[in-house]
Amino acid sequence: MIVYLHGFNSSPQSHKAQVLGRFLAERGLGAQYACPALPPLASDAIREAEKCLGKDVCFVGSSLGGFYATWLAEKHGVRAVLINPAIDPHVGLRAYLGRQENLHTGEPYELTEAHLRDWERHHVPSITPGRYLLIVETGDEVLDYRRAVARYAGADQIVVEGGDHSLQSFARHLPRILEFARAAAL
């Protein structure tokens, strides 16, 4: 099972979620794909993602979804693919305190200090490198890819020159993502 975890203010309608879902469906693997809608509060988002846990699950997390995938991988001993992952959203998203709106659904909410504290509570101080495949682009304008490379040292890593936070090269990595996810079943 591959579970895609979208980023901040995003949804299952995001471009990467849709591309990954189509890629798997074209290979007859659509029933082995899930992309839950993640609420803004970390505790709620993680509970939603945990509903998808199974024996051979592999989380694929983009940006804030990568932060959640890390927590889930360490807590449950599963594998995760991280796409331009957020390292410390309790610090990086402080600038966004106040009114927010989901980019796809338009649903409004207030980003508060409680959200920051919840992300901080879910920060994993150390990781098990063998659980991860990290995919980053050096042109990420939102998150410094070097922090992710350092945080996930020892993990499988794909560092692509250029690009941006959306991971422009995402489609070309789909076979590798599927290969990594299938290894979770071994």
Number of domains in the chain: 1
The boundaries of the domain holding residue 128 are: 2-183
Tens digit of each residue's pLDDT (9 = 90 or more) over 76-134 = 999 999 999 999 999 988 988 889 988 888 888 898 999 999 999 999 999 999 999 99
105 — alpha (psi -120 to 50), left (phi > 0) or beta?
Answer: alpha
Beta-carbon contacts of 136 under 8 Å, excluding residues fewer than 6 positions away, are 83, 84, 145, 148, 149, 157, 158, 159, 160, 167
Query: By the 8 A CB rule, do 109 and 40 touch?
Result: yes
Q: What is the CATH number of the domain that holds 17?
A: 3.40.50.1820
Beta pairing partners, 109: 100
pLDDT of residue 185: 58
